[in-house]
A and B are shown apart, each in its own frame.
Chain A
Amino acid sequence: MGRHKKCIAMLLAGGQGSRLGALTKDIAKPAVSFGGKYRIIDFSLSNCSNSGIDTVGVLTQYRPFELNSYVGDGEAWDFSSVDGGVYILPPYETQTGGKWYKGTADAIYRNLDFLRKFNADYVLILSGDHLYRMNYNDMLKNHIKKGAVATISVMEVPWEEASRFGILSTDEEGRVTKFAEKPKKPESNLASMGIYIFNTEVLINKLIEDADDEDSSHDFGKNIIPKLLKENEPVNAYRFEGFWKDVGTIESYYETNMQLLKEKPEFSMIDEKFPIMSNSNIYPVQYIGTTATLENCIINNGCKIYGRIKNSIIGNGCVIKEGAYIEDSLILPDTVIEEDVKVVRSIVGEHTVVRQGARIGLREGEITVIGNNETIKKGAVKP
Chain B
Amino acid sequence: MKEVIGLITANYGTRDMQRLSDERSIASMPFGGRYRLIDFSLSNMINSGITAVGLITPYKFRSLLDHIGTGSAWMLDRKKGGLYILPGTTYGMSDKSDRFLLCDMCQNDVYFHRTNAEYVLVTSANIVCNMDYTPLIEAHTESGADITMVTKIAERSNKYIKKVNVEDGKVVGVKAGVERGELAFLDSFIIRRELLIQFMEWYSVKEYMDIFDILRKDYKRMDIRTWNYDGYVREIFSVKDYYNTNMELLDMDINGTLFNEQMPIRTKVQDCVPAHVYPQAKVKNSLISSGCLIRGEVENSILFRGVTVEEGAIIRDSIIMQSSVIKSGAIVKNAVIDRNNLIGSDMVIKGSEEDIYVMLKEQRKAKKMG
Instruction: Indicate if the CB atoms of B288 and A299 lie closer than 8 Å.
Output: yes
Decide: A301 and B267 in contact? CB cutoff 8 A.
Answer: no
Q: Mark B263-296, 1 if CB is under 8 A from A, else 0.
A: 0111101010111111101011111111000000
Task: Type the 1/0 row for A131-151, where 1 means its CB is closer than 8 Å to any CB of B.
Answer: 000000000000000000000
In the complex the two chains form, what is the Cα distance from A280 to B266 in whole Å? Answer: 12
* A292–B252 touching, CB < 8 Å: no
A278 and B271 CA atoms in complex are apart in Å by 7
B274 touches A288 (CB 8 A): no
- Complex contact B289–A286 (CB within 8 A): yes
B163 within 8 A of A: no
Q: B274 contacts which chain A residues (CB < 8 A)?
A: 35-37, 269, 298-301, 313
B interface footprint on A274-307 (CB within 8 Å = 1, 0 otherwise): 0111101010111111101011111111001000
Interface contact B273-A270, CB-CB below 8 Å: yes
CA distance A272 to B323 in the complex (A): 13
CA distance A290 to B281 in the complex (A): 14
Tell me the B196-239 residues at the A interface (CB within 8 Å).
none
Question: In the assembly, what is the distance between CA of A187 and CA of B317, in Å?
Answer: 63
| Contact present for A287 and B255 (CB under 8 Å) | yes
A window 33-52: CB within 8 A of B: 35-37
Chain B interface SS verdict (over half): loop
The verdict on B82 contacting chain A, using a C-beta distance below 8 Å, is: no
Output the least CB separation between A65 and chain B (Å): 20
The answer, yes or no, to whether B259 is at the interface (CB within 8 Å) is yes
The residue on B at minimum CB distance from A77 is B271
Decide yes or no whether B173 CB sits under 8 A from chain A: no
Say whether B36 faces chain A, with CB atoms less than 8 Å apart: no
A231 within 8 Å of B by Cβ?
Answer: no
24 A-B pairs with CB atoms under 8 Å apart are A36-B274, A76-B269, A270-B273, A276-B271, A277-B271, A282-B264, A282-B265, A282-B269, A284-B255, A285-B32, A285-B287, A287-B250, A287-B252, A287-B255, A288-B284, A288-B285, A288-B288, A289-B284, A289-B285, A294-B281, A298-B275, A300-B274, A304-B252, A313-B274
Chain B interface (Cβ < 8 Å from any Cβ of A): 32-34, 72, 250, 252, 255, 258-259, 264-267, 269, 271, 273-279, 281, 283-290, 302, 370
Beyond A263-B278, A289-B285, list 18 extra A-B contacts (CB 8 Å): A76-B271, A269-B273, A269-B274, A275-B271, A285-B34, A285-B288, A286-B288, A287-B252, A288-B277, A289-B284, A292-B283, A295-B277, A296-B277, A296-B279, A297-B277, A298-B275, A299-B276, A301-B274
